Homo-oligomer: A and B are copies of this chain.
């Protein structure tokens, strides 16, 4: 696993332009309180299993699962010209996969779930973060925090992307009207757009 044993990677820390993805199951904590622990783990692992496969297929780097949240990055350790495009196509594939996940949930009497996905593009410091006893390839920087705020603002079923990601895209996608977000620590409002699909 390259994230856990990143031999050969820059140890000192590197400024990298990446597209950051954060996703989260809407209301999962409330859902989880109505289920037995084993059901919660079944539900979350079915979801994370499907999402992991899709993110890996789009060459995204999964930084972390935090409860039901996923933090992934496109563009580090390896940069590619289509990092932002792969991130958007990955998010679309993740939303498409929810129908199948919910069909299986219904069959087993488990609740349906929906996920909100945020994308943001910016420069972050990538490096081996941690201690001698425990380290991982991780990311630090303002764009990480901004992504988290966009994620907070996303609805179930939605993909919200920052203007920075929209500008980095090479392909054509259908987007909805922009919304403005207030982000802690930034004076100007941040404009985000929902991505509706690829332009056919």
* Residues of chain A whose beta carbon lies under 8 Å from any beta carbon of chain B: 1, 4, 11-15, 28-30, 32-33, 37-42, 44-45, 48-49, 51-53, 56, 62, 64-68, 71, 125, 127-136, 138-142, 144-145, 185
Contacts and interface: CB of A to CB of B under 8 A. Distances in A.
A13 B40 contact: yes
A74 B26 CA distance: 27
Contacts of A129: 41, 44-45, 48, 65, 67
Nearest to A146: B29
Report how many copies the assembly holds: 2
26 contacts: A12-B37, A13-B37, A13-B38, A13-B40, A13-B41, A29-B140, A29-B144, A30-B142, A40-B125, A41-B125, A44-B129, A44-B140, A45-B129, A45-B130, A45-B131, A49-B131, A49-B132, A52-B131, A56-B133, A64-B64, A65-B129, A65-B130, A65-B134, A65-B138, A67-B139, A67-B144
Contact of A12 (B38, B132, B136): B38
Contacts of A40: 13, 125, 127, 140
